[in-house]
Amino acid sequence: MNRLAAFRHLCSAALVLMASLSAGSAWAQATTGSGENVQSVGGPVRLNLPTNAKDEREREREQLMRLKQAQQGVDNADLFISPRMAYKPSDFELFVRQQAGITRAQGDRADADWLDTLRRFGADLMVPQARTPEGLSLDLPTSVPDDYQLSAGDEVLVNLWGSVEGNLRLVVDRGGQLAIPRVGTLSVNGVRFGDLRGVILRRASQQFKNFDVAVSMGRVRSIRVYMTGFVNSPGAQSLSGLSTVLQALVAAGGPSGVGSFRNIQLRRQGQAPMQLDLYDLLLKGDRGGDRTLRNEDVIHVAPIGTQVGVIGSVNRPAVYELKGGETLADVLAMAGGPAALANRQQAVIHRIDAQGQTQLRTVDLSKEAGQPAQNGDVLRLQGFGDVAQPSARQMKRVRVDGEVQRPGDYILPAGSTLRDALRAAGGTTAEAFLFGAELTRESVRLSQAENYERAMRDLEVELTRGLVKGKERTIPPNDEVYARNTALTRYVERLRNVRPTGRVVLGLALDARELPDMTIEDGDRLTLPIKPSSVSVYGSVMNSGSYVFANGRSLSQYVAMAGGAARSGDTGSLFVVRADGSVVSNRSSSGWFVGGGAVEGLQAQPGDTVFVPENLFHLGNSAELKDWSTILYQFGLGALALKNLK
């Protein structure tokens, strides 16, 4: 009986053990939702996702991939990139290009080259050659940083081995929970990725022993950030949760033409704004201020600060943005310093004054490099290589004044013309009088001065001969001869005090709409006056002055309005200086004095200056001296000189 009772007791225990194992298997199956989760006798526990969960996850991944491919037309895209935006240079960039002598060419390829020439520093980073993921210069990081905070939508890859095995692909749900089979759910919302392994390990240790865990990130959630301020595409942007401020700026097209590269703020709720200066990256390679974004972050781009253009013989000509207190030396350092053949002692600053005119100022870099740069300055370094070239190949400095959009000094490339100078100054105003355009040139002035001095010496010789003959005819000299000689001497003294202006007669038509295609020289000065409304009469007349111009009037009518010629006036030598600098004389029909004959019968033009010379040269038989009264004015003396001769 004892043996029978023992056998029955053993069978009963075996049945209890089998029921227990069966119940445990059923519990595990109910927990995982799959019959695959079984534990072999003496083997590790294997964890797998439910079949329906895996199918749903695969469908979700395929749908997301199709969406990205449809939006971007490429595979393996990590960012939703906006279409490429055309680069639009600011007004100051255009001004700097004009100072550098860069003009816009014709044709699609030429226009593209023009847009890529001498832009603001950093524009290449914000507007890459292709705005597609293949050409994007700022790809997402291949590894997730430890400070990345998990949130709903993130995918976590969990790998377990040891007493429990599993390769799990888990998604953080909307409540911030991560569900692990046979371990349960744990909250990971806001948990740093660097701390995630420890969180999972501690929780799983409550169920299993002698195992280890490795975690990595799968698909990263999308976040929404807001771009505000002076950006090319303000508004909400959908980005990867791994994106940084810099990548968000690239996706939004970067700061606009008037947006700052150096004053960018990351505004996060509950925290003080964080500053980003892109020049730290561009000049120093320092990306320390580039923060990883979070959902609902705001990136604000402030308006651009002080701008300075650097052109000429430097390593990196561009437009640079300055912060307070930065000097000319700092600007040169940003531009990579002077080039190998640069003049390191001097530079030229193009500066717009309060009247809107461009002024050129030479600075001594050895003494003035520490002075602050002003907003709108354009710093130019001349290269010794340019100076060593023939004059025809050197840059030309020209000043444009009068009725133009931007009067000032300009340095233009070799071979530039008057039309180029006018374009550099923004073109003419509606009131400009092109016929009266005054071009003064130093080389012409020097030539005129030399010839004028020679003419004056010849005139004095002729006058001396005339005076001697007069004395011989009147011994002793009477009062009339003495008075005439005295007046003649004073007249010559006044001529001696007059200096030629160096004006070049352009020979335009009265209704001209364009300057001649004439090559400029260094130091040229082009002045475009407003259309004059008067005609001036000077010299030996009864009432010198200016009189209102009226169409159809002759020059003789204006002489009559001045009271006619005085008794000492020599009407036979009368001449008129036109607004373009040309001269028409009664005594000559060649050279600069075109027309010949009765000048008084000519129709007056706006800006004419009529001059009636003194009849001081008619001494005995020296009538040939009369010619000197008009010959002297071929040297471009100007209306003011004529007025002062009386």
Residue 593 falls inside a structural domain:
yes
For the chain, give the mean pLDDT.
Answer: 77
- φ/ψ of 541, rounded to 5, equals -125, 170
d(CA 328, CA 417): 32
Does one domain contain both 242 and 197? no
Q: What is the pLDDT of residues 397-406, one digit of tens each?
A: 899 999 999 8
More confident residue, 456 or 220: 220
The dihedrals phi and psi of 302, each to the nearest 5 degrees, come to: -75, 165
Task: Give the residue from 209, 240, 211, 203 showing the smallest Cα distance to 225.
Answer: 240
- List CB contacts of 77: < 8 A, sequence separation 6 or more: 68, 69, 71, 133
Domain at 73, CATH number: 3.30.1950.10
Looking at the structure, do residues 336 and 463 belong to the same domain, yes or no?
no
Q: Which of 9-23, 48-62, 303-317, 450-464 has the lowest mean pLDDT?
A: 9-23
Does residue 287 sit within a domain? yes
Residues 539, 613 contacting (CB under 8 angstroms): yes
In which element (H, E) is residue 284 found?
A: helix 278-284
Higher pLDDT, 49 or 513: 513
9: pLDDT confidence band, cut at 50, 70 and 90?
Answer: low
How do 259-267 and 274-276 pair as beta strands? antiparallel
In-domain check, residue 429: no
Choose between 617 and 488: higher pLDDT.
488
Q: What per-residue confidence (pLDDT) applies to 307?
A: 95
Tokens 């706006």 belong to 606
Of 261, 277, 303, which residue sits at a domain end? 303
pLDDT at residue number 54: 53
Q: Is residue 559 part of a domain?
A: yes
- 238 membership: H or E segment, kind and range: strand 235-240
Q: Are residues 214 and 192 in the same domain?
A: yes
| Domain carrying residue 375 | 90-122+308-388
Residue 644 has a pLDDT of 54
Distance between CA atoms of residues 157 and 271, nearest Å? 32
103-123 pLDDT, tens digit each: 665 444 445 555 567 889 988
Residue entry with tokens 């000077």: 538
22 assigned to some structural domain: no
Is 371 in the same domain as 480?
A: no
- Whether the CB-CB separation of 317 and 117 falls below 8 Å is answered with no
CATH number for 329:
3.10.560.10
CA separation for the pair 253, 131 (Å, rounded): 9
Write the pLDDT tens digit of every residue in 610-627: 988 877 554 443 444 445
| Same-domain status, 157 and 282 | no
Kindly indicate the confidence band of residue 17, based on its pLDDT and cuts at 50, 70 and 90.
very low
Which amino acid appears at position 227 of this protein? M
417 pLDDT band (50/70/90 cuts)?
very high
Listing DSSP states for 81-145 in one string gives PPPP------HHHHHHHHHTT----SSHHHHHHHHTSS-BTTHHHHS-S--STTT-SSPPPSS--
Q: Is residue 402 part of a domain?
A: no
User: What is the domain count for the chain?
Assistant: 4
| Prediction pTM value | 0.61
Among 421-435, 439-453, 552-566, the range scoring the smallest mean pLDDT is 439-453
Contact 213, 200 (CB under 8 A): yes
For 393, phi and psi rounded to 5 degrees?
A: -105, 5
pLDDT exceeds 70 at position 563: yes
